[in-house]
Structure 1
Amino acid sequence: MTKRLHGVIAPVLTPFNDKLEPDVERFIAHCRWLVDNHAGLAIFGTNSEAASLSVGERLSLAQALVEAGIPAAMLMPGTGACALPDAVELTRHATRIGASGALVLPPFYFKGVSDDGVFAYYAEIIERVGSGCVPIYLYHIPQLSQVPITLGLIERLLERYPGTIAGAKDSSGDWKNSKAMIDNFATAGFDVFPASESLLSQALPIGGAGCISATVNMNPAGIHRLFEGWQGPEAAKLQAKADAIRTIFQAAPMIPAMKHVVSSFAAHPSWRRVRPPLVALGDAAGGEVLARLDAAGFDMPGYPRRPQ
């Protein structure tokens, strides 16, 4: 049986080369650094610019990680897509490589769809992948998808596929919703991951499974210490430090800001690249983010320090 991921998980940033193609070497290196700092890998999440990646790119990047020796058990690939066959292909591949789970966004082009339609989408994926389907994590990000994962939908899916529906990432930013997911379904083995480390101190005491947070890309060790130490004497201090770092990134366009900072620590300007329609952070804005991080004592151990 596939061992489930818990704890601190990064929706991994995707580096691009000068042709705006995924930079496989730097992608592998970033993933290895994250794993070394106790983070799981939700490759092809929102912060991976997954909606800007083709199916072929996602398949080849996932395969490259496994072939590079990144443990498949650390992977939770994003496999959702507007086209059902694409979602099936991606989920089938996640199953084949032995990933710990698949984070599955609902189809997001049509709006106002019913729970019946979303249920059918997830059911078709599970049925078409067949026996041994990778555990499915529902991706609730209604501010972008406009297709919510409702409590009623979760209940129906758990009743039909209790061995396959494993949990959810709640990116709504609404603590009441995350709490309701945990309160209603955690005892049924449904693992709920809020999308911010700022909610760890609230989620873990009531049965939350951890967090899948953008800024795990930047602060994996610090957020892992918070996850491990939430009941300890340093819990409030660890939470405050993690919150301070996240607040700095939230004050800027997060994906360009994170890539700008990685670029600085990696001493490689290409890390700044984003795929259109996103736009890279300019030098002035990027410098402001770096200055605020310096003042907060931020570091990325294992990445080369930026030149002084």
Structure 2
Amino acid sequence: MTHMPGLYVPAITPFTADLSVDTARFVTICRRLLEDGADGLAVFGTTSEANSLSVSERMAALEALVAAGVDPACLIPGTGCAALPDTVALTRHATDMGCKGVLMLPPFYYKPLSDEAVFAAYAAAIEAVPTVALYLYHIPQVSGVALSVPMIGRLIEAFPSTIRGLKDSSGNWDNTASVIAAFPQIETFSSSESLLPKNVAAGGAGCISASANVNAAGIMRLIRALGTPAEGAALSQVSAVRAACEGMPLIPGIKAVVALRMGDAAYARTRPPLLPLTSDQRTAAERAAALCFFKESAA
């Protein structure tokens, strides 16, 4: 099955000086990312510091985004938590609001988990919210819980109208390729824009990338350039930005670059346990910024 390639941004979550969620800045940056051309937003993912947010904070921020005019049909909020009732509450809330779908981590505290255990957790969430459109979230280096191809297949067989896609944040292209080949009917996203040409050529659906917070316009240029003479230059630009972002602590670094773009240092705040950048790392953030949106006028 051929999917239209797309970009969904795991938008950062700004915080106020007292470390509460800064709803006004959250709405502002989300709107800016959509203006940059992103197809949608995967809010409350890893880059959003989702697991540092309470259930009520995520719900309130999502409500604020929709109330501000952002179409819920372009939103895929993260809802996977360690506790099943929290997962169900967030999933039901997002589904009731009309979101395109939800991006769901497996339960990630108890380890090791068998395929049977992971299947049971997803099945329980689906059965509690049977109208959900579910995107699986594979990030084993952080969650410690892998989503195996056989387990994914079992979920698709059991819930064929529910499982809509998967985000593969493992960084392992062979794994992504195996998911695309096994399940061409679902939307499989890579987590790195550098893999976009491979992803789309194999039948994938594009990317959900942390560095899209600072280079959404560049990534969209690459998507438009795929298969054309402009692809090489576009790929070189996004790969350079990605490498610069990976050269810093990723989430504080992304937030620091966003702060530079917005001319507002408040965007750089992180919630503990994440720490702000050191002075040397801030220099790296400035170099990363120079590679992306500070050339917007030439875009």
Shift of 1:293: 3.8
Given candidates 230, 242, 246, the residue that maps to 1:246 is: 242
Partner of 2:113: 113
* CA deviation string 1:126-163 (max 9, x = no partner): 11113xx2210100000011110100011000001000
8 Å CA contact 1:5–1:74 kept in 2: the answer is no
What do you get for the CA RMSD once the two structures are aligned? 1.5
Partner of 1:236: 232
Task: Kindly provide the amino acid, as one letter, of the partner of residue 248 in structure 2.
Answer: A
Shift of 1:284: 3.1
1:299 aligns with 2:297: no
Shift of 1:289: 2.4
- Unaligned 5+ runs, structure 1: 303-308
Shift of 1:262: 1.3
Shift of 1:229: 1.7
Cα distance in 1, alignment partners of residues 289 and 256 from structure 2: 12
Partner of 1:274: 270
8 Å CA contact 2:196–2:207 kept in 1: the answer is yes
Shift of 1:8: 0.6
Superposed, 1:88-167 pairs within 5 Å as 88-130=88-130, 133-167=131-165
Cα distance in 2, alignment partners of residues 84 and 163 from structure 1: 21
1:33 aligns with 2:28: no
Cα distance in 1, alignment partners of residues 164 and 232 from structure 2: 30
Cα distance in 2, alignment partners of residues 183 and 111 from structure 1: 28
Shift of 1:252: 0.6
1:51 aligns with 2:51: yes
Shift of 1:301: 4.3
* CA deviation string 1:22-53 (max 9, x = no partner): 10000000000111122110000000000100
8 Å CA contact 2:78–2:104 kept in 1: the answer is yes
Superposed, 1:53-68 pairs within 5 Å as 53-68=53-68
8 Å CA contact 2:248–2:284 kept in 1: the answer is no
Task: Kindly provide the amino acid, as one letter, of the partner of residue 269 in structure 1.
Answer: A
1:289 aligns with 2:288: no
- Unaligned 5+ runs, structure 2: none
8 Å CA contact 2:245–2:288 kept in 1: the answer is no
Task: Kindly provide the amino acid, as one letter, of the partner of residue 98 in structure 1.
Answer: G
Shift of 1:108: 0.4
8 Å CA contact 1:99–1:134 kept in 2: the answer is no
8 Å CA contact 2:214–2:293 kept in 1: the answer is no
Cα distance in 2, alignment partners of residues 177 and 191 from structure 1: 14
Given candidates 192, 197, 200, the residue that maps to 1:196 is: 192
